[in-house]
A and B are shown apart, each in its own frame.
Chain A
Amino acid sequence: MKPLLMHRDRDFDLQGALPWNEQDLTQDLELGTLFETMAHGDAFLKDMARRGILASATDPSSIVYRQDVLKDCLDKPAVVHAIYEIAVDAIEGERKNHWGLVMGYPDSVLRRSVDVMGLFIVSLKKLRAFGESHAGNFSSAGFRTFFAMLASELGDDYFAEVQEHLKELKFWNGVLVSAELGAGNKGVNYVLRKPLDIDRGWIRRIFARKVPSYSYQLASRDENGARALSELRDRGLNLAANALAQSNDHILSFFRQLRAELAFYLGCLNLNKRLSELDEPVCFPEPVAQTEHRHIVAGLYDICLALTKGQRVVGNDLDANGKDMVVITGANQGGKSTFLRGVGLAQLMMQCGMFAPAQSLRASVCDSVITHYRREEDATMKSGKLDEELTRMSDIVDHATCGSMVLFNESFAATNEREGSQIATQIVNALTEAGIKVFFVTHLYEFAHDLHNTERPDVKFLRAERQADGTRTFRLNEGEPLQTSYGEDLYHRIFETPSTGHELRQ
Chain B
Amino acid sequence: MNDGRQISGQSASVDEREAKRNGASPGRPIPAKDTEARPPHPKLGPKVFQSILGEAPEEIPETPACFGDLNLDQIIAAVTAGREEYESRPFFHASLHTVDAVHYRHEVFRDLESETVFECVAEFTRKMRQMREQITKSGKLYYKYQKERLLLDAVSTYCEAVACVARDLGTADLRSRGFVAFREFLAGYIDSASFTSLRDEAKALYDGLSTVKYCMNIKGTRIRVRKPESEIDYSAEVERTFEKFKRGAVKSYLVEFRDSLDMNHIEAAVLYLVAKLYPNVFIALSDFCARNAAYLDPKVSAFDREVQFYVGYLQYIERFKQAGLSFCYPRLSITDKAIRSVDGFDLALAGKLIAENTSIVCNDFHLQNPECIFVVTGPNQGGKTTFARTFGQLHFLASVGCPVPGREASLFLFDKLFTHFEKEEDIHTQHGKLEEDLIRIHDSLGRATPNSIVIMNEIFTSTTLHDALFLGKKVVGSIAALDALCVCVTFVDELASLNEKTVSLVSTVGTANSTERTYKIVRKPADGRAYAMAIARRHRLAYDDLKERLRT
Give the residues in chain A near B214, CB-CB below 8 Å: 178-180
Partner among A106, A181, A194 whose Cβ is within 8 Å of the Cβ of B212: A181
Q: Mark B197-241, 1 if CB is under 8 A from A, else 0.
A: 000000000000110111111111111111111111111011101
Give the residues in chain B near A105, CB-CB below 8 Å: 255
Residue B250 lies at the interface, judged by CB distance under 8 Å to chain A: yes
Q: Mark A418-435, 1 if CB is under 8 A from B, else 0.
A: 000000000000000000
How distant is A217 from chain B, measured CB to nearest CB, in Å? 5
**B231 x A194 contact (CB < 8 A):** yes
Which of A53-61, A89-97, A161-169, A442-450 contacts its partner? A161-169
| Given A232-B267, A241-B253, A250-B250, 6 new contacts (CB under 8 A) | A106-B255, A176-B234, A185-B271, A202-B217, A216-B269, A239-B254
- Would A176 and B257 be within 8 Å (CB), given that A162-B241, A184-B149, A244-B238 are in contact? no
How many interface residues does B have (CB within 8 Å)? 65
Closest-by-CB residue of A relative to B258 is A231
**B254 x A249 contact (CB < 8 A):** no
Query: A215 to B257, alpha carbons, bound, how many Å?
Result: 24
A residues near B (Cβ < 8 Å) are 1-2, 11, 103-106, 109, 153, 161-162, 165, 168-169, 173-181, 183-187, 191-196, 202-203, 206, 211-218, 224-226, 228-229, 231-236, 238-247, 249-251, 253-254, 257
B residues near A (Cβ < 8 Å) are 137, 141, 145-146, 148-150, 153, 209-210, 212-235, 237-239, 241-242, 244-248, 250-255, 257, 261-267, 269-271, 273-274, 276-277
**A174 x B242 contact (CB < 8 A):** no
**B223 x A242 contact (CB < 8 A):** no
21 A-B pairs (CB sep. < 8 Å): A106-B255, A165-B241, A174-B217, A177-B218, A180-B213, A181-B210, A184-B137, A185-B271, A186-B267, A196-B229, A214-B224, A215-B223, A215-B225, A228-B265, A232-B216, A234-B255, A244-B242, A246-B252, A249-B251, A253-B247, A253-B248
How distant is A1 from chain B, measured CB to nearest CB, in Å? 6
**B267 x A215 contact (CB < 8 A):** no
Main secondary structure of the interface of A (DSSP, over half): helix
**B245 x A254 contact (CB < 8 A):** yes
Give the residues in chain B near A243, CB-CB below 8 Å: 235, 238-239, 242
Query: A225 to B254, alpha carbons, bound, how many Å?
Result: 23
Query: A149 to B218, alpha carbons, bound, how many Å?
Result: 40
**A245 x B253 contact (CB < 8 A):** yes
Give the residues in chain A near B251, CB-CB below 8 Å: 246, 249
Query: A214 to B271, alpha carbons, bound, how many Å?
Result: 11
Residue in A168, A246, A254 with the greatest tally of chain B CB atoms within 10 Å: A246
Give the residues in chain A near B146, CB-CB below 8 Å: 184-186
Give the residues in chain A near B229, CB-CB below 8 Å: 196, 211
Chain A to chain B: the 10 pairs with minimum beta-carbon distance, closest first: A174-B219, A247-B242, A193-B231, A213-B226, A239-B235, A228-B266, A218-B221, A250-B245, A245-B253, A240-B235
**A195 x B254 contact (CB < 8 A):** no
**B223 x A232 contact (CB < 8 A):** yes
Give the residues in chain B near A202, CB-CB below 8 Å: 217
How distant is A274 from chain B, measured CB to nearest CB, in Å? 34
How distant is B145 from chain A, measured CB to nearest CB, in Å? 5
- Would A176 and B216 be within 8 Å (CB), given that A186-B267, A195-B231, A244-B238 are in contact? yes
Give the residues in chain A near B235, CB-CB below 8 Å: 191-192, 239-240, 242-243
Closest-by-CB residue of B relative to A202 is B217
Give the residues in chain A near B215, CB-CB below 8 Å: 176-179, 193
Query: A226 to B223, alpha carbons, bound, how many Å?
Result: 11
Give the residues in chain B near A254, CB-CB below 8 Å: 245, 247
Give the residues in chain B near A11, CB-CB below 8 Å: 247
